[in-house]
Amino acid sequence: MTWQIGMVANAVIGIAYLLICLAIIVPLAKSNQLRSNPLGAATAAIFLTCAVHHGTHAAHMLLPSFVDGDVRGLAMREAWGWPLTIWDLVGAAVAVYYWTLRRNYSSLMEGAQLFEDLRKREQQALELNDSVLQGLVVSKMALDLDDVDKARAALSTSIESASRIITNLLGSEHFAIQLLRSAPAVVDMSNAARNAGSAAPTAPHKETTP
C-alpha cells in the first residue's frame, strides 16, 4: 500500500512542479528575459528537474502494472516504505498549498514580476546617480565656493528627483505597513562640533587681580 501512496504523491509533485516551471518560464519567454534574467531561468530549471525526478519515480512504480517482470519497478515498489511515503505526502501537500497561495497573490505573480528585469534595475541606478548624486556634488562644490543660492537650488532639485524616483519604485498602491529603519541614523557630531567651535568667536580673556 505504501508504494501506491508514494506513486500518487510523486505524480502530484511532478505535475505541480512542472506547472510552476511553466508559470515562470512562459512569462520570461514572452518578455524576452530568458537570457537577461538568469535567476528566473535557473529557478524554472530547478523546478523542471524536480518535476522530472518525481515524475520518473511515479512512472517506474506504475510500469510493472503494464510490463510483466519489470525488475526496476518491482524493486522500487519494495523499497518504498513509510518514511519515503510520508515525505512524499508532505511534498505533495506543499505543492498543492503553493497553488492555493497563487490565487491570493495573483497580482504579484503575473507576468515576470516575480523576477524583475535586471536592465530595469540598472536604469534605476543610473537615474539615481544622474539625478541625485550629481546634484549633491554640485551643491557641495557651490558651498565650497560660498555660492549659497546655487547650493540650495541643487539640493532642492536632488530632493525632488529622489522623491519622484522613490515614488515610482514603490508604485501608486498603498500598503498597511510600518516603515522602520534597520539601524538608527548616524550623524558625525564630532566634525560638526569642531566646525562650530572653530567658527564661534572667542570671548576676550579677562584677568582678575587677587
Give the model confidence (pLDDT) of 15-34 as tens digits. Answer: 999 999 998 888 888 888 88
Same domain, 86 and 165: no
Number of domains in the chain: 2
Same domain, 19 and 63: yes
**Grid cell in block for residue 102:** 497563487
The 3 state secondary structure assigned to 139-175 is: HHHHHHCCCHHHHHHHHHHHHHHHHHHHHHHHCCCCC
Domain boundary residue, one of 83, 109, 135 = 109
Q: Which residue has the higher pLDDT, 96 or 116?
A: 96
Whether the CB-CB separation of 73 and 61 falls below 8 Å is answered with: yes
**Grid cell in block for residue 43:** 529557478
Domain that holds residue 159: 117-170
Least confident of 98-107, 135-144, 184-193: 184-193
Same domain, 12 and 96: yes
On whether residue 96 sits in a domain, the answer given is: yes
Q: What is the pLDDT of residue 15?
A: 95
Query: Rounded to two decimals, what is the model's pTM?
Result: 0.56
Same domain, 45 and 16: yes
Same domain, 14 and 100: yes
**Residue 10 C-beta-side C-alpha neighbours within 13 Å:** 23
